[in-house]
Structure 1
Amino acid sequence: MRRHAPLALALLVLVAAWFGPLPARAETSFAAHMILHMGVVALAAPLLAFGLARSNLLPTGASAGRFVLPAALLEFLLIWGWHAPALHDAARQSLALFALEQASFLLAGLFLWTAALGSLGSQRTGARAAGAAGLLLTSMHMTLLGALLLLAPRPLYRCGTLCSPLATLTPLEDQQLGGTLMLAVGGAAYLAGGIALLAGVLNTRPAEARP
């Protein structure tokens, strides 16, 4: 049962995120939308990948390592693309686009985390290093996007002025809270994963150097 605990926890996170009050609140609050986003890519995706790894359901070795950087590029394009003002506003006002956004976040995050964790089974140092690099690069661009949202001098999204933000926050403060969440949760989760994988690379002698 313990082996499957991460999978069960990931499913609980997704159920709470998608079938709780957050989707309705996300229509009127950028910060609520960001909570959803972080729940999917920074909690559910790594938990699913870790659960698959513990259940021996992940492809491992050099073949997995080859997919890490393409997966990181895909997640970069999706995260920045969906946070472009036009697409983000559309997703907050269209159920179909919202569902597409959330599904793409989950699949891209799962693709990256499974490739990164799968690379640990490789005997090649380069493949394992690619796993760490993919997570660290993702942490960097999430941190940059979070900082841009936090430091922007005005609301970037149309719903910031048309919709009611969380509690008594102004639209700009609501956006700043969303940026802070991306920095504190998204950037930190991928940074922690990348550092853990990098530590494994540095502490393991390459197979070809062993007697």
Structure 2
Amino acid sequence: MSAPRLLLLAGGIAILLAAWIGPLPALALTRFWAHMVMHLMVVAIAAPLIALALAGSRYDPAARLPLLFAPLPAAFLELVVIWGWHAPVAHDAARMRPEIFVAEQASFLAVGFLVWMSALGGAARVRRERAAGGVGALLLTSMHMGLLGVLLALAPRPLYEACLGVFDQQVGGVMMLAVGGSVYLAGALWLLADLLREEARS
């Protein structure tokens, strides 16, 4: 693996360690914004860095298992996982029980990596087709994360027991909208620009 790829991989792993071993898990027991910081570090920073490190290399899982890494099904799966864990019962359970917290964080990483790897990876011979699907997958994820962020930010009362109050929840919602929605949108636009450049050259 080349030095730039190793740097991307190391950066993604470092972000995961910072999210999971630092002070955030303890803060997330009572602060919704801390949960959201962890969530975004995993799906919007660590997952794309790791996917970029592997995409197009001999370790690219999307090239080996293309059916498993289909962009649009991956995006729908992430939608189900993200919205499911933000249902009040599931969210509060993850804050109160360590084994559920581990399952939540592992599923965030799994679906985040699945979406980014599906969008960025794949064999060179089908790269253009996969990238087109990746644009749709990243746009869909940007929209539903933005929508969830808006709902959390505009809710008139706290939805979760593990929350300091409505302001804490609103801060988390704004973070999801501003960071989560923007990162996935930026990824979609970057892929689209790359596709347009290829079209212009062909």
Alpha-carbon contact 1:78-1:104 (below 8 Å) kept: yes
Partner amino acid, structure 2, of 1:146: G
Partner amino acid, structure 2, of 1:49: A
Pick aligned residue for 1:200 from 177, 194, 201: 194
What is the deviation of 1:22? 0.4
In 2, distance between residues paired with 1:130 and 1:192? 15
Pick aligned residue for 2:111 from 108, 111, 116: 108
* Pairing of 1:62-81 with structure 2 (within 5 A): 63=66, 67-81=70-84
What is the deviation of 1:54? 6.1
Aligned length: 199
Q: Alpha carbons of 1:66 and 1:100: their partners in 2 closer, same or farther (altered >3 Å)?
A: closer
* Pairing of 1:50-61 with structure 2 (within 5 A): 50-53=52-55, 55-58=57-60, 59-60=62-63
What is the deviation of 1:64? 6.4
Q: Alpha carbons of 1:203 and 1:85: their partners in 2 closer, same or farther (altered >3 Å)?
A: same
Tell me the residue number matched to 1:168: none
Instruction: Render the CA deviation track for 1:120-158: whole Å, top value 9, x for unaligned.
Output: 834474432101110110000000000000011111112
Matched, 1:185 2:179: yes
Pick aligned residue for 2:150 from 147, 151, 154: 147
Alpha-carbon contact 1:65-1:119 (below 8 Å) kept: no
Q: Alpha carbons of 1:119 and 1:196: their partners in 2 closer, same or farther (altered >3 Å)?
A: farther
What is the deviation of 1:202? 2.3
What is the deviation of 1:66? 6.4
Tell me the residue number matched to 2:93: 90
Identity %: 51
SS of 1:79's partner is helix
Q: Alpha carbons of 1:182 and 1:125: their partners in 2 closer, same or farther (altered >3 Å)?
A: same
| 5+ long unaligned stretches in structure 2 | none
Tell me the residue number matched to 2:35: 33
In 1, distance between residues paired with 2:176 and 2:8? 22
Pick aligned residue for 1:156 from 147, 154, 159: 159
In 1, distance between residues paired with 2:23 and 2:58? 34
In 1, distance between residues paired with 2:168 and 2:123? 39
TM-score between both structures, scaled by the size of structure 1? 0.87
**CA RMSD, 1 decimal:** 2.2
Alpha-carbon contact 1:74-1:108 (below 8 Å) kept: yes
In 2, distance between residues paired with 1:122 and 1:183? 35
| 5+ long unaligned stretches in structure 1 | 166-170
Tell me the residue number matched to 2:137: 134
In 2, distance between residues paired with 1:60 and 1:30? 38
TM-score between both structures, scaled by the size of structure 2? 0.91
